[in-house]
Amino acid sequence: MKPAPQKRRKRNLLRAEGVEHVDWKDTALLREFLSDRGKIRARRITGLTPAEQKDVARAIKNAREMALLPYPVKKG
């Protein structure tokens, strides 16, 4: 089997934006890590380190609880 083609791996870390501390109130930033359906993007897409991915996931879940971000929606 051939290796899968590189799929839109971002690898930009978004640390490119100079974010040192992920704030769960910063919805504009967190939205970058959500798919159209509101799912959290996998690390292989976001290119974050495990620690960063964990921070982002935690922040998104906190924001969801306060209705700042949507929960994933099922479609089809």
Partner 1 sequence: MSRHYEVMVILDPSLDERTVAPTLENFLKVIRNAGGSVENVDIWGRRRLSYEINKNAEGIYAVLELISEPDDVKELDRQLSLQETVLRTKVVRRQEVRGAKRAAKIAAKA
- Residues contributing to the site for partner 1 (CB under 8 A): 20-21, 24-25, 51, 55, 62, 64-71
Q: Write down the least CB distance from residue 16 to partner 1, Å.
A: 17
Residues forming a β-bridge with 40: 34
- What's the token pair of residue 3? 């290796």
Q: Which is nearer to partner 1, 8 or 21 (CB)?
A: 21
Q: Which is nearer to partner 1, 9 or 61 (CB)?
A: 61
CB-based contacts of 71: which residues, under 8 Å, 6+ apart?
38, 64
Query: Around Cβ 12, how many Cβ atoms within 10 Å?
Result: 12
Q: Write down the least CB distance from residue 12 to partner 1, Å.
A: 19
Q: Which is nearer to partner 1, 13 or 66 (CB)?
A: 66
- What's the token pair of residue 1? 């089997």
